[in-house]
Chains A and B, each alone.
Chain A
Amino acid sequence: MQDPTILILASLADGDKHGYAIMEDIQVFAGIRLGPGTLYGAICRLEGCGWIRAVKSESRRQPYRITAEGSKHLKEQLALLGQVVRTGNRRMREA
């Protein structure tokens, strides 16, 4: 689970966050520290896909919100990941 876009969508799934909060959240729940370039590269792609959008803010720290399409994509990816995990675990037990 190294895909920064999925990590960011998972981080935004429980509420709006700005870049630094996303970075810290991912560090806490996944143990992965995204570099600033990786983080904003992924944010740029996610915004381009319409999976997140910027929320109006007076602060320099721009919060982002997951969109309905983003939630749908996240669910699909997590379901796929769950399938991989279940299959891998079953095959490990059988080996």
Chain B
Amino acid sequence: MRPLIRWAARLYPPRWRNRYGAEFDALLDDISPSLGDVFNIIGDVLRVRATASDASLVWAPVSQTMRLPVIISLTSHALMVTLILWAAFSVTPMPLQVSVAPIPPPAPEAPPVVTDARVFPDALTLYSSLPLTTSAQGDAIRLYVADGVGINFLPLPDIGARYRQGDIERRVWPGRALEAFIVRRVLPEYPHGTNTRGTASVFVEYRVSRGGSVKVLRTSGPMPFTSAAQSAIEQWAYRPLQYEGRPCEVVSRVEVRFDSEFAQSGMSQ
């Protein structure tokens, strides 16, 4: 599929290719192209060529050098498009006969056991029960909650990046996007035994498995705050995540902020 989509990208006018060609090729390297993407590009090529305000900029490089190789190239492109369209509309799918053992129904999932008053059964409850302030930096959402513990969803510079380990592919999603899928959140306990005063930040990178369970990959920050953050975050649970209709694993990062002042007063901000 990749050669086909590169061929389709070459149909853009030269002026368009000069401006966007390199970055467009980089995009095609990043995606997993489908036949739909090929038609999507061909459709945009037709739109660009049909709506260019200065037609000479689009067609002139071809018409001025309209020699035999160019004519052959254009003809072969047209034939290839015709063949693809013919194949797409004329192939009749054969009935699929596959015998497989019946799949046992999935075991009913036990509801989360609420052992802590600070366990929130779903995201809506979380949002509706907490004061929510928007920070001055972009639209990062900070949630300061009772007992001096807050969660800050960080803007991630590598959003959408893919990491592959064996057969498993992981994608980087921002924590804010994951909020739509969360079913259980346990907020960290402020470690009252510490002498730390003021604010302590812990940065946590975690992985959400295909089943929705959470595993902390790494933490950064002072002890014992990192332990408190890790043990709480590993109790979070999400609905199974999907990307392009397929189950996927996701990596995200949050900042957990501990504030001794609010922890002592028992107040929230």
Contact = CB atoms under 8 A, between A and B. Distances in A.
Interface residues of B, number: 34
Interface SS, B side: helix
Contact of B23 (A24, A25, A35, A61): A61
A63 to B, nearest CB: 9
A60 B10 CA distance: 17
Nearest to A57: B23
B17 to A, nearest CB: 11
Contacts of A18: 23, 26-27
B159 A35 contact: no
A40 B244 contact: no
B44 A20 contact: no
Contacts of A13: 139
B37 A40 contact: no
A33 interface: yes
Contact of A41 (B5, B27, B47): B47
Interface residues of A, number: 28
Contacts, number: 85
Nearest to A37: B44
A19 B23 contact: yes
B23 A60 contact: yes
A40 B45 CA distance: 10
Nearest to B250: A28
Given A21-B159, A28-B174, A36 B26 contact: no
A61 B161 CA distance: 13
B43 A37 contact: yes
Interface in A39-95: 39-41, 43-44, 59-62
Interface of B: 5, 16, 20, 22-28, 30-31, 33, 36-37, 40-45, 47-48, 138-139, 155, 159-160, 171, 173-174, 177, 243-244
Kindly list the 7 A-B residue pairs having the minimum CB-CB distance in the complex, ordered from nearest.
A24-B160, A35-B40, A37-B44, A62-B23, A60-B26, A37-B41, A20-B30
